[in-house]
């Protein structure tokens, strides 16, 4: 009895030691699991593009966005998941081993299922099409992000110029202040003119502060999209309208969009995969044959090998449900593809029309509006110096000049957005690599 108790105590001690070791091993395993994750995150942060000091162009900025955006990196991992599915599709099922024993006989053997009717090849093809669909959907996510980034870039580009316009307007008002001050000192103007000008200068300082705040807000949005929140970003680009005669026609752009537009490529990839899935489900309806080899040791007959073949009889379940479901999914995918084509055609038509209107508006305004700024400015100053104009007329002339410049910038902003929308609608997106 004492020996039995000692044995039980020894077993309990061993079990406790094993449990402690198991918990300790789990803790170390958890630490090991956390450490690579942290390192991966650190490497990902370290692998980001550093914030440039010099001003960036649209192409350079979009490259930074694609390389730095965590959301795009997550979308690109869908392709890795699809590749993992391809490995699964190409893998054979594991063999099954068995062993049995009864009086006078022992048996052990192995059984392997082999899809001899081409199911494995169909699974591999379906997984390959899944990779293409994942890559196309990743391109759709990239195109959406690039569109947001381009609009934010254009807003910052115009905000920079808008701020410069307000600074120039303040300088012009200050120069007018010297003229007013000289007129007051000469006795040809009253102190009212000086007080009215001081009030206008205070309002101008407020407008400059608002323009600066808008500029910083636009810069913060650009930096945020690039996943560089501390970036003191500056951008550069052209604010000039291009020649309307050089604009490509709809037919030319549509022929390019059919093969390059991410939304069309994604919808076509989903349709191809859905059609392939019908073939896969039909092939999966064929039974998978299993081949077995056993070794039997019998007390009467001795030892011998036994070869067997087993196959499922598709009597009740012939995968009618999955096949019908695959057909419906293919019809849905075809309708979605058709809808994507119609939407792309409409968007390209709309974008081209808007671009033509925006470019025409910019050119007409530059020709008829901005051309009158310099003469208007000179006439207002001369009229005030000669005593033919009041301080209100001078302030009104300077304000009108500034409004015309700001209105021109708004037209330019609309034109830049329209140019990008044409590029997006035609699939002419910049080739930027992550």
Whether 274 contacts 329, CB under 8 Å? yes
Extract the tokens encoding 292.
């077995």
Please count the helices (runs of H) and the strands (runs of E) in the chain.
10, 4
- How far apart, in Å, are the Cα atoms of 322 and each of 129, 277, 278, 363, 389? 19, 10, 9, 60, 86
Q: Cα–Cα distance between 281 and 318 in angstroms, integer?
A: 10
State the greatest distance between any 2 C-alpha atoms of the chain, in Å, as a whole number.
138
pLDDT tens-place string over residues 188-209: 666 777 787 788 888 889 999 9
Instruction: Give residue 429's pLDDT.
Output: 85
Q: Cα–Cα distance between 236 and 244 in angstroms, integer?
A: 23
pLDDT at 243 exceeding the cut of 90: no
Q: Give 189-252 as a DSSP string.
A: S-HHHHHHHHHHHHHHHHHHHHHHHHHHHHHHHHHHHTT-TT----B----SPPPGGGSPPHHH
Whether 133 contacts 270, CB under 8 Å? yes
The mean per-residue pLDDT over the stretch 48-66 comes to 89
If one compares 365 and 110, the residue with the highest pLDDT of the two is 110
Instruction: Give residue 47's pLDDT.
Output: 54
Q: Cα–Cα distance between 391 and 384 in angstroms, integer?
A: 7
Instruction: Give residue 38's pLDDT.
Output: 30
pTM of the full structure: 0.78
Whether 252 contacts 73, CB under 8 Å? no
Q: Cα–Cα distance between 273 and 334 in angstroms, integer?
A: 11
Q: How confident is the model at residue 2 (pLDDT cuts 50, 70, 90)?
A: very low
pLDDT at 103 exceeding the cut of 80: yes
104 Ramachandran zone, left/alpha/beta (phi>0; psi -120 to 50): left
| Residue of 208, 121, 199 lying closest to 171 (CA atoms) | 208
Whether 348 contacts 264, CB under 8 Å? no
């Amino acid at each position: 009895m004492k020996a039995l108790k000692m044995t039980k105590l020894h077993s309990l001690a061993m079990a406790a030691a094993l449990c402690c070791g198991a918990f300790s091993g789990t803790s170390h395993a958890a630490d090991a699991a956390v450490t690579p994750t942290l390192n991966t995150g650190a490497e990902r942060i370290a692998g980001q593009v550093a914030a440039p000091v010099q001003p960036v162009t649209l192409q350079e900025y979009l490259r930074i966005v694609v390389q730095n955006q965590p959301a795009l990196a997550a979308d690109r991992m869908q392709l890795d998941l699809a590749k993992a599915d391809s490995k699964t599709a190409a893998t054979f099922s594991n063999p099954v081993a068995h062993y049995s024993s009864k009086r006078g006989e022992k048996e052990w053997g192995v059984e392997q299922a082999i899809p001899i009717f081409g199911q494995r090849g169909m699974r591999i093809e379906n997984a390959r099409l899944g990779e293409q669909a994942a890559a196309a959907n990743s391109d759709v996510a990239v195109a959406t992000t690039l569109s947001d980034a381009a609009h934010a870039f254009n807003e910052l580009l115009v905000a920079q110029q808008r701020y410069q316009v307000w600074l120039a307007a303040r300088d012009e008002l200050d120069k007018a202040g010297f003229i007013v001050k000289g007129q007051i000192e000469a006795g040809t103007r009253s102190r009212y003119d000086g007080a009215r000008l001081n009030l206008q200068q205070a309002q101008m300082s407020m407008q400059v502060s608002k323009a600066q705040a808008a500029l910083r807000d636009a810069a913060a949005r650009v930096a945020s999209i690039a996943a560089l929140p501390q970036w003191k970003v500056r951008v550069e680009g052209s604010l000039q309208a291009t020649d309307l005669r050089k604009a490509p026609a709809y037919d030319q752009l549509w022929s390019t969009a059919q093969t390059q537009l991410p939304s069309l490529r994604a919808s076509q990839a989903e349709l191809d995969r859905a059609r392939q899935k019908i073939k896969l489900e039909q092939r999966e309806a064929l039974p998978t044959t299993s081949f077995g080899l056993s070794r039997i040791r019998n007390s009467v007959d001795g030892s011998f090998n036994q070869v067997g073949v087993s196959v499922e009889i598709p009597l009740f379940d012939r995968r009618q449900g999955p096949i019908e479901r695959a057909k419906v999914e293919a019809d849905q995918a075809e309708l979605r593809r058709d809808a994507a084509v119609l939407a792309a055609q409409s968007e390209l038509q709309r974008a081209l029309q808007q671009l033509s209107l925006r470019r025409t508006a910019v050119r007409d305004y530059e020709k008829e509006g901005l051309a009158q700024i310099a003469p208007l400015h000179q006439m207002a100053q001369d009229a005030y110096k000669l005593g033919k104009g009041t301080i209100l007329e001078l302030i009104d002339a300077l304000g009108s000049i500034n409004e015309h410049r700001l209105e021109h910038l708004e037209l330019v902003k609309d034109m830049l957005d329209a140019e990008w929308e044409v590029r997006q609608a035609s699939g002419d997106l910049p080739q930027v690599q992550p």
